[in-house]
Amino acid sequence: MAEIQAGGGGKGKKGQPKKINVRVDFTPMVDMNMLLLTFFMMCTTLSKPQTMEIAMPAKDNVKQEERSKVADTKAITVLLDANNKLYYYLGKPNYTDFTSLKEATYGGVDDKNSFRSLLNSRNSVAIEKVKALKRSRDRREIKEDYYKEEVKKIRNDKNGEVVIIKPTDKASYQNLIDVLDEVAIAQIGTYAIDDVNKGDQFLIDNLKSKGNLTKNSQIPAAPTTK
């Protein structure tokens, strides 16, 4: 509140204006600022830390027959290299044919050479099931809890696709995040991050050289199970 005080202690000279001292009291403004601050603290949602679930390879031994079974049917191995390069092969690695390793882009579904198009074609049944559940949820035919539970079952199907991501030392962290996003978009719940072995690096180098390593009989030995 503003308080006006007349100064001078008496009447001024004739013809001269009377001096007035103005003092503004800011105490109510402080109280109002505190109320506004409290209001925003109570109503504003604080940013929550974002986390991402990552499945790391298990340390226990898996039978070679089981690994071969997965590799021959559902396994998609992704190799991430420098300069945002993304390579992949299906099933077991073929060291004698350099064209078995394919290069993909980070584009959308419209790009037939993108990694997303590959996952969509391989996991189209699960994707359509999730879309149907989402439409039912939006129409309020099913509850949110039921929707989440059914989506979880679809993603964790034992007969579903398995993605193994192997980033090289030259790959960027953003490339790994992009691939994990694509796996989530394609409704694939079984995936793992593993190290690049000598055979994987051979596939990359052999593709870059268009099969010269194979011609020179530099084919690596098949990886063994520890």
What's the confidence (pLDDT) of residue 79? 97
Residues in the chain: 226
Domain ranges of the chain: 2-41, 64-123+160-215
Query: Interhelix angle for 144-155 vs 124-138, to 10°?
Result: 180
Burial of 78 (0-12, 13-18, 19+ CB in 10 A): buried
E strands of 7-157, at which residues? Answer: 20-24, 75-81, 85-90, 102-104
What's the confidence (pLDDT) of residue 226? 45
CA–CA dist 219, 221 (Å, integer): 7
Q: Are strands 190-193 and 162-167 parallel, antiparallel or unpaired?
A: parallel
What's the confidence (pLDDT) of residue 222? 57
What residues contact 164, with CB distance under 8 A and at least 6 apart? 75, 76, 77, 78, 191, 192, 194
Task: Enter the DSSP assignment of 21.
Answer: E
Which phi and psi (to 5°) does residue 15 adopt? 90, -10
Please answer whether residues 155 and 189 qualify as being in contact, where contact means their C-beta atoms are separated by less than 8 angstroms.
yes
What residues contact 226, with CB distance under 8 A and at least 6 apart? 61
CA–CA dist 111, 118 (Å, integer): 10
What's the confidence (pLDDT) of residue 35? 84
Which H/E stretch holds residue 191? strand 190-193
pLDDT by residue, tens only, the chain of 226 residues: 555 555 555 555 666 666 666 677 777 777 788 888 888 777 776 656 555 555 554 444 444 455 555 656 789 999 999 999 999 999 989 999 999 999 999 998 889 999 999 999 999 999 999 999 999 999 999 999 999 999 999 998 888 899 999 999 999 999 999 999 999 999 998 899 999 999 999 999 999 999 888 877 667 665 544 4
